[in-house]
Structure 1
Amino acid sequence: MTATTESTAISAEDRAALAEAISELVTRRGDSASARAAMRHTPRIDRALWDTLCAEIGVASLPIPEAYGGGGASFTETGAVLEELGRSLCPVPVLTSALATAAILLADDDATNRELLPALAAGEQIATLCWADPRGWSSPGVNADAGLLSGAAEYVIDAESADLFIVLAGGRETTTLHAVGADADGVRITPLPVVDASRPLARVEFDETPATTIPSGPDLPVRLRILAWALLAVEQVGGAAAALDLTVDYTKSRKQFGRTIGSFQALKHRMADMYAAVEAARSVARAAVAAAVAGAPDAEDLAAAAHVQCSEAFCLVAGEGIQLHGGIGITAEHDIALFFKRAHGSAQLFGQPHEVIDELSRRLLA
Structure 2
Amino acid sequence: MNYSFWEKYFIESPAQVTIIGAGIVGLSTAISIAERNMDLTIKVLDRGHLSYGASTKNAGFSCFGSVSEILDDMQANGEEMCMDIVKMRWQGLSKLKERVHPEIMEYQACGGIEFFKKTDVETIEVCTQAIPHLNELMEGYLSIKNCYQSKPNTTLSAFDSTTIFNPYEGTINPVKMMQELYKKAISLGITIIFGIEINDIRMDDHLLITKDNLHINYQKLILCTNGFTQRIMPELAVFPARNQVLMTLPLANNPLAAACHYDKGYIYFRQYKNRILIGGGRNLDLDGEMTDNFGLTDKIQHYLLDILDSIYPGASTQIDHWWSGIMGVGPSKYPIIKWLDDSVLAGVRLGGMGVAIGSYLGEQLAEEVTNL
Decide: shared fold, TM above 0.5. no
Query: More relative contact order in 1 or in 2 (CA 8 Å, sep 6+)?
Result: 2
The bucket for the TM-score relative to the shorter chain is under 0.3
More helix by share: 1
More strand by share: 2
TM-score by length of 2: 0.26
TM-score by length of 1: 0.26
